[in-house]
């Protein structure tokens, strides 16, 4: 039986959503921010995934902290896309989702630090 890991699933699905957004941005000739967004957004899930194989509690906290930083960078790029009017694509759902991911990761880090 597979156990559910909400943050792994959320970050994976978020990456898929951003890949789809990236393709649309590329079609709309937005190349610079879209690449930055793709890199930071997919890095969130990659670091969460790496954290699951951490060698120690400290390593786990470090990987999750990197995921948190990447999520915050992703939020920056999404806000920039939204407010700059470089595109007419709506990214508000992605902003809400990355905020939710940031909140979950923050709680995971706090819990892990309290259980050291």
Pick from 113, 110, 115, 99: nearest CA to 44: 99
Model's pTM, two decimal places? 0.94
DSSP the chain: -PPP-HHHHHHHHHHHHHHHHHHHHHHTT--HHHHHHHHHHHHHHHHHHHHTT-SSHHHHHHHHHHHHHHHHHHHHHHHHHHHHTS-----HHHHHHHHHHHHHHHHHHHHHHHT-
* Confidence band of 3 (pLDDT split at 50, 70, 90): low
The structural domains of the chain, ordered by start, are 6-114 (1.20.1440.60)
At 27 the pLDDT is: 96
């Amino acid at each position: 039986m597979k156990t559910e890991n909400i943050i792994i699933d959320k970050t994976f699905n978020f990456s898929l959503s951003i890949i789809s957004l990236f393709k649309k941005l590329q079609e709309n000739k937005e190349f610079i921010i879209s690449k930055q967004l793709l890199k930071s957004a997919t890095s969130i899930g990659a670091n969460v995934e790496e954290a699951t194989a951490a060698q120690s509690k400290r390593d786990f906290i470090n990987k999750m902290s990197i995921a948190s930083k990447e999520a915050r960078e992703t939020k920056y790029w999404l806000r920039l896309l939204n407010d700059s009017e470089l595109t007419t694509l709506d990214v508000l759902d992605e902003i809400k989702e990355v905020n939710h991911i940031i909140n979950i990761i923050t709680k995971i880090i706090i819990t892990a630090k309290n259980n050291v």
